[in-house]
């Protein structure tokens, strides 16, 4: 059961990392639009 769950956990961690990176990119692009800040 552990070995069956492991790939899913690894995938979830990767997805979370990608979401974090994507969210950061959105914040950067959003802050570049508001250049007056």
**Residue 5: its pLDDT value, please?**
66
How large is the greatest C-alpha to C-alpha distance in the chain, in angstroms? 54
- Tell me the pTM: 0.39
Query: Rounded to an integer, what distance in angstroms lies between the CA atom of residue 30 and that of residue 3?
Result: 41
Nearest CA to 31 out of 23, 2, 7, 6 is that of: 23
Number of independent structural domains in the chain: 1
Residues 6+ apart with CB under 8 A from 37: 31
In this prediction, residue 24 has a pLDDT band, given cuts at 50, 70 and 90, of confident
Residue 11: left (phi > 0), alpha (psi -120 to 50), or beta?
alpha
Range of the domain at 31: 1-37
């Amino acid at each position: 059961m552990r070995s069956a769950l492991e790939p899913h956990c690894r995938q979830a961690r990767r997805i979370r990392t990608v979401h974090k990176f994507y969210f950061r990119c959105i914040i950067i692009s959003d802050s570049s639009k508001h250049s007056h800040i």
